[in-house]
Amino acid sequence: MALTRNKNVGGSRNIPLKRFDIDTSIGFIVNRTAYVMRQHLHEGFREINQPITPEEFALLRVLWNQDGRRQGELADYAFKDRTTVTRLIDGLVGKGLVERKNDQRDRRAVRTWLTKTGKSLERKLVPIAHDLVNRATVDVSQKDLEITLETLRKVQASLAPPKTS
């Protein structure tokens, strides 16, 4: 089904519900792709006997880039609610990969810090993620990949809540 942009308010598409094809829905395709990639990433971690979930890996990636983040910052980055991030951090604490420490400047705040074991996992897990991306995009040109990523960023931006000043 070819989709055309109507020249109505906001340039939105006017597609009758009965003709809506989920297989042409950007949301469905992106979600399905993310699901498949998460499954393969988790499988890759299991193959090297690392019991890390893709969701935990996402938090670790943030901490490898900037250790000592607040829970709210981790939640914002991961697009997860604070309750879910608390559960994920609890799991990482239980695995000995992170620890919580009170913020030196704001005693009400708690920061999450990598342990030595958590830091050492970066060199084991990141290559698996890179390999997955390489395998997933092997038949995609660099130009197409750049266009896809830019398009998805535009979609995200168009759906982001309005910024308040």
pLDDT digits over 38-49, tens only?
999 999 999 999
The count of other CB atoms within 10 Å of the CB of residue 31 is: 11
pLDDT of residue 6: 42
Rounded to two decimals, the pTM is: 0.81
CATH of domain 53-127: 1.10.10.10
> Could you tell me the residue ranges of all domains in the chain?
53-127
What's the distance, CA 17 to chain centroid? 30
Instruction: Please write the tens of the pLDDT for every residue from 87-112.
Output: 999 999 999 999 999 888 887 889 99
Which stretches of the chain drop beneath a pLDDT of 70? Answer: 1-18, 165
- What are the φ and ψ backbone dihedral angles of 8, each rounded to 5 degrees? -100, -170
pLDDT value at residue 1: 42
Separation between Cα atoms, residue 2 and residue 8, nearest integer Å: 18
Q: What is the pLDDT of residue 106?
A: 81
| Pairs from 71-80 (Cβ < 8 Å, separation ≥ 24) | 71/110, 71/112, 74/112, 80/55
